[in-house]
Copies of this chain bind each other. A is one copy, B any other.
Amino acid sequence: MKQGRLIVVSAPSGCGKGTILGRVLEDKERFYYSVSCTTRAPRAGEIDGVHYHFLTRERFEALIAEDAFLEHAEYNHNYYGTLRAPIDEHMAAGQDVILEIEVKGASQIRALRPDASLIFIVPPSIDVLRERLINRGTEERDVIEQRVALAAEELQYAPDYDYVVVNDDLDTAIADFCAVVRAVELKNIK
């Protein structure tokens, strides 16, 4: 059986990453979505084992001690981490593992796993992103400006990624993302 590939996906918020990944992940035989671990409390609607593995601090620290994490970090007094074993198991079973992670986590994965392919989903421009967030109408203007500022910062990381998919038209972005994933499957891993 052919070994699956490790595919790391990042995107500033508002770039349609959820929609694009949702489409790709419909093929559950081909892809395995890597669920992160966290010590933060579940939010309304979040399901353990689907959105995150929700762990106690003690359990998380025991896993750190066991070197069970490919990467982990602490934000706002909560741990977040990616378990190593499920990734290797699903890849060995021939599935592509999709790992959704923010830009700094992606840099860590790049260093730890040279076999990983990193895909960055970006808006056509910061102005278009701002316009979309405003049109969505779900957030106050100052929250939108914070998101836009964070996105501008994250976009600086684009050169760290192997492939950049611009989400201008959603259908094109989905097709482009699928093309990159297929190419990654056909790539010689050095």
Partner of A179, one of B159, B182, B188: B182
Q: How many identical subunits does the complex contain?
A: 2
Chain B hits for A175, CB < 8 A: 182
A123 to chain B, nearest CB (A): 15
Q: Are A188 and B161 closer than 8 Å at their CB atoms?
A: yes
Contacts of A164 in B (CB 8 A): 186, 188
Asked if residues B176 and A188 are in contact (CB atoms below 8 Å), the reply is no
Question: Is A184 an interface position by the 8 A CB rule?
Answer: yes
Q: CA separation between A188 and B159, bound complex, in Å?
A: 7
> A162, A178, A188 — which one has the most chain B CB atoms within 10 A of its CB?
A188
Instruction: Select the residue from A159, A162, A164, A182 with max chain B CB neighbours within 10 A.
Output: A182
Q: Which residues of B contact A158 (CB under 8 A)?
A: 188
For residues 151 through 186 of chain A, which have their beta carbon under 8 Å from a beta carbon of chain B?
158-159, 161-165, 175-176, 178-180, 182-184, 186
A interface residues (Cβ-Cβ under 8 A, vs B): 158-159, 161-165, 175-176, 178-180, 182-184, 186-188
Closest 5 pairs (CB-CB, A-B): A183-B183, A179-B182, A179-B179, A180-B183, A163-B186
